[in-house]
């Protein structure tokens, strides 16, 4: 370009076009970050061409975003250089040297408002539509800048290796993103609850779902078959662990169906050791998902749980494990003694041995975490002693726990009162110290 040839106004139109393209790539960057890969794959499976194109681009996110950044940088530099040249030329020709600064100021305003802010807002409000609309443009730049991006990638990887930085591919979609998708979906609440339980299921250990040793119904090794059957009838259990001397020493398991032949033959006076089966043991830190697979492979429905010292910590059944997925399972015997009883006014009566994570799940409340697993343990931790009937604890979340029944060793039943959704209660919950006894 000669300095004596005035710049054509088409050059200004070209600069506007470059800035428009820059804004499009800014919007594309935000939209590509916001849109979910799973959603794109679903749309691609429906035959949408732009979705298939976007799915191809997202397969290598590093190269894609490098392409977008390079495009934004080059387009911005070209547009700003062109506007600067036009303003400088006309400033010199008209004797207005300050026109150069006016041009720069105009470019800054346009870039900030129309090239940066507006595309970002538009992409955030409609990420799917924006991503689909700009996928062809991004694909074109992806191909055009392939050699440049390849060279930049090699240089970047070389620098990372020299600096000792280790790069690992991140998952396509994280668990937090899955939870967010479920929360924001239009599926029914009970379906959401089950989906969230499935995700939570993978993190559950046996000790979180087992029946504690103190609550186990057992038979003694010296008991007769008649006596063991009486325990089964009273407790309505079809299987009983058998212990020697104390419950920490389990020597076998009784099945009610194994006792029937002895009764038919008039041998009910024999000791249970004649009818019991070997006990199956699992460690308390075993993952529940692995336990379910083991139960399926070995056709088992119950196992004894051991602690780190080899002692008996409790027992776990297939039902205990499956309840983590589908919620409480009540059969014809359980209906009479459901674990949670609604009292009205957001109050519920629960057994003291109710697991804290189950209570949080079933009542949609927040309880503090600590070195305990049950509501009884939570109360003992907060109060610093074995609670007595009538004692209360107000938690920071606004949940009030009131001991209804207790003995010398533990809490038997607790009234749980959820915080009311009023300004007064919210202020009270905020001002209460966590776990402060009342």
pLDDT at 283: 93
CA distance 34 to 122: 12
- What is the average per-residue pLDDT within 2-14? 65
Query: By the 8 A CB rule, do 397 and 419 touch?
Result: yes
Q: What is the average per-residue pLDDT within 125-136? A: 88
Q: Which helix (H) or strand (E) holds 242?
A: strand 239-244
Predicted confidence at residue 315, as pLDDT, reads: 92
Q: 434 pLDDT exceeds 50?
A: no
Instruction: Tell me the pLDDT band of 104, cut-offs 50, 70 and 90.
Output: low
CA 381 to CA 436: how far, in whole Å? 11
Residue among 228, 411, 217 at smallest CA distance from 333: 217
**Is domain 339-437 in CATH 3.30.465.10, yes or no?**
yes
Tens of pLDDT along 168-206? 555 556 777 677 777 767 777 777 777 777 777 878 889
pTM of the full predicted structure? 0.49
pLDDT in tens, 299-352: 888 999 998 888 899 999 988 888 877 766 655 555 444 467 777 778 888 888
Task: Identify the pLDDT of residue 40.
Answer: 82
CA-to-CA separations, 125 to 42, 107, 118, 177, 180, in angstroms, rounded: 21, 26, 11, 18, 17
Q: Give me 55's structure tokens.
A: 């799915």
Instruction: Please report the beta strands in 291-370, taking only residues with DSSP state E, as ranges in sequence order.
Output: 302-306, 312-317, 341-344, 347-351
Q: What is the pLDDT of residue 196?
A: 79
- The ranges assigned to domains in the chain are 9-163, 206-326, 339-437
More confident residue, 164 or 355: 355
Q: Which CATH number fits domain 206-326: 3.10.580.10, 3.40.50.2020, 3.50.50.60, 3.40.50.300?
A: 3.10.580.10
Q: Which of 30-44, 142-156, 175-189, 260-274 has the lowest mean pLDDT?
A: 175-189
> pLDDT exceeding 70 applies to what percent of the chain?
83
Q: Can 206-326 and 339-437 be said to share one CATH topology?
A: no
Nearest Cα residue to 341 out of 326, 328, 323, 324: 328
Average of per-residue pLDDT values in the chain: 80
pLDDT tens for 209-229 read 888 888 888 999 999 999 988
How far, in whole angstroms, is CA 354 from its chain's centroid?
23
Q: What pLDDT shows up at residue 402?
A: 92
How far apart are alpha carbons 430 and 428 in whole angstroms? Answer: 5
Exposure on the CB side of residue 94, measured as CA atoms within 13 A:
12
Question: Tokens in use for 64?
Answer: 């894609």
Q: What is the mean pLDDT of residues 81-100?
A: 70
């Amino acid at each position: 370009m000669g300095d004596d040839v005035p710049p054509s106004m088409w050059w200004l139109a070209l600069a506007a076009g470059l800035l428009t393209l820059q804004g499009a790539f800014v919007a594309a960057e935000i939209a590509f970050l916001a849109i979910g890969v799973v959603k794109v794959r679903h749309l691609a499976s429906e035959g949408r061409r732009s979705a298939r194109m976007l799915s191809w681009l997202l397969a290598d996110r590093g190269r894609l975003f490098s392409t977008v950044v390079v495009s934004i940088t080059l387009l911005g530099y070209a547009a700003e250089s062109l506007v600067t040249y036009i303003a400088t030329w006309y400033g010199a020709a008209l004797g207005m040297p300050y026109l150069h600064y006016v041009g720069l100021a105009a470019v800054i305003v346009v870039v900030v408002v129309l090239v940066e802010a507006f595309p970002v807002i538009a992409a955030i409000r409609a990420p799917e539509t924006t991503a689909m609309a700009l996928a062809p443009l991004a694909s074109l730049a992806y191909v055009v800048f392939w050699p440049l991006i390849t060279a930049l990638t090699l240089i970047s990887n070389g620098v990372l290796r020299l600096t000792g930085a280790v790069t690992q591919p991140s998952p396509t979609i994280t668990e937090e993103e899955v939870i967010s998708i479920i929360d924001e979906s239009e599926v029914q609440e009970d379906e959401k609850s089950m989906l969230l339980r499935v995700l939570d299921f993978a993190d559950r250990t046996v000790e979180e779902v087992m029946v504690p040793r103190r609550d186990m119904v057992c038979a003694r090794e010296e008991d007769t078959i008649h006596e063991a059957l009486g325990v089964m009838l009273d407790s309505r259990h079809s299987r009983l662990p058998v212990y020697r001397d104390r419950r920490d020493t389990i020597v076998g398991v009784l099945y009610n169906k194994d006792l029937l032949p002895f009764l038919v033959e008039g041998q009910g006076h024999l000791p249970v050791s004649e009818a019991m089966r070997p006990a199956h043991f699992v460690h308390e830190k075993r993952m529940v998902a692995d336990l379910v697979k083991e139960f399926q492979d070995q056709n088992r429905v119950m196992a004894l749980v051991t602690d780190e010292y080899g002692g008996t910590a409790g027992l776990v059944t297939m039902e205990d494990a499956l309840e983590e997925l589908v919620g409480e399972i009540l059969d014809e015997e359980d209906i009479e003694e459901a674990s949670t009883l609604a009292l009205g006014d957001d109050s519920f009566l629960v057994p003291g041995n109710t697991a804290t994570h189950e209570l949080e799940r079933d009542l949609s409340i927040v309880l503090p975490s600590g070195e305990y697993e049950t509501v009884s343990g939570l109360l003992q931790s907060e109060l610093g002693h074995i609670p007595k009937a009538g004692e209360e604890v107000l938690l920071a979340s606004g949940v009030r726990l009131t001991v209804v029944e207790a003995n010398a060793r533990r809490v038997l039943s607790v009234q749980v009162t959820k915080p009311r959704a009023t300004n007064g209660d919210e202020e009270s919950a905020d001002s209460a110290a966590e776990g402060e006894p009342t």
